[in-house]
Amino acid sequence: MYLIKIRKFSSHNKISGYTLIEIFGVIAIATILLAMVPHLFRSITDEHINNESDLMASFEKAFKSNVMRNRSIPDQNGWASVIANELGIPIYQVTNLYNQGRIFLIDPQFKIGPNLTSLPYTQGPNGSLKPINPRVMIISSFGPPLPQQSGVSANFNAIWNTPDGVVPAVWQNSWKSKGEFLKIQRIGLESLFRFVIINNLDPNQDAVISVDNSPPFPITRDAAGFSGFFFRDTVFSFYDTNGVKVTQNVLQNDYSFVFESGVWRGKVLDGREKATSLYRISVAMFLAAPIYPGAKFGAKPVNILDFFCEYARAYTLWSVDGFPYTKSQQQYPAMQQVKDYQALLSQTSSDLID
């Protein structure tokens, strides 16, 4: 309520007060301020949402960084401490948002390790079979408390596939708020792993390696060889026949190594081109395969690939020229090179198996 003092008499008989113009001016300013309140509240809310998005992204980065450095993936009991340790903050700052809890959900199909078991996982010297559905999520709420606790979630796929700004269908009856007040940080871990193949082709001695800080261990000559998925930055050490470390590799890409005649050679696989993992693995296995005893003229698998690469290079040059064709090799040498390497490829592949 406004108390308006219209008139006041002083000892000097002077009249003071507010004019109607002043009164309406005050009312207009108050109206404007009141109209600004929702916009101010919206602005503050948007700022909190944006800050939370940035914070959740930093949580993901810290989680992955810790996983790679410690070669270990925590479950719902250890995720918050992993992030807190990485960022140097108290655990409660990871688990709480304005007195609401953040939760950590795990894909129920997430399997990892030599026997494809559930989290937690710590990498050993044998690595893992190919991880299945390596996905987790961190979720926070600006609205009511979230309707479930951290852990393996049967609703994982439904939540993962929900667009940002939308309440997951499985929560619409149990979480009454707007989708914009829900932040979902999806964390895929597949990119943290690299595939390694190691074969011992030496008939007389074991190939000796170590993984990170493991003791050296032998890889015997057999058809299966040694293979597994390892965290990026895993350190592989290779030893000679006297047990002396001769080389070391910090894993960045998919690699293949071969021990033959007492010597290590590699790397065969380099890079992670999309949709070509089967091709890379096939090439690595082909190069590492034992040589057929009846092979002629010293033919080896590596010769096949060498000639194929030269064939591909010559073919590419020929295509750049528009595929000109003539019987004269002097006029179109690229075309003739294609034919030459085609013949070498055919002959060498025949020598390898005949």
Strand blocks (E) in the chain: 8-9, 15-16, 72-73, 96-97, 100-101, 103-106, 121-122, 135-141, 151-152, 182-188, 193-200, 207-211, 217-219, 226-231, 235-239, 245-250, 255-260, 263-266
Residue 305 has what pLDDT? 82
Q: Which two tokens stand for residue 161?
A: 């596939």
SS3 191: helix
Q: Please report where in the chains the tokens 């950590």 appear, as a residue.
A: 104
The CA-based angle 123-125-128, given to 5 degrees, is 55
Residue 134 has what pLDDT? 96
Below-50 pLDDT ranges, the chain:
1-10, 40-41, 44, 268-277
As to burial, measured by CB atoms within 10 angstroms (0-12 exposed, 13-18 middle, 19+ buried), residue 7 is: exposed
For 135-163, how does the pLDDT look when each residue is reduced to its tens digit (9 = 90+)? 999 999 988 899 999 999 999 999 999 99
For 55-113, how does the pLDDT look when each residue is reduced to its tens digit (9 = 90+)? 999 999 999 999 999 999 999 999 999 999 999 999 999 998 776 789 999 999 999 99
Residue 274 has what pLDDT? 38
Name the nearest CA neighbour of 124 among 51, 50, 217, 199: 217
Residue 9 has what pLDDT? 46
Q: How far apart are CA 160 and CA 154, in angstroms?
A: 11
**DSSP code at position 111:** B
Q: How far apart are CA 67 and CA 120, in angstroms?
A: 11
SS3 81: helix
pTM for this predicted structure:
0.66
Q: How far apart are CA 228 and CA 219, in angstroms?
A: 13
> Under a CB-based contact definition with an 8 Å cutoff, are residues 61 and 185 in contact?
no
Residue 272 has what pLDDT? 37
CATH placement of domain 190-290: 2.60.40
Listed by start position, the domains of the chain span 42-188, 190-290, 292-354
Residue 276 has what pLDDT? 43
Residue 256 has what pLDDT? 84
Residue 147 has what pLDDT? 92
User: Can you say whether the dihedral through the CA atoms of 133, 136, 139, 145 is positive or negative?
Assistant: positive
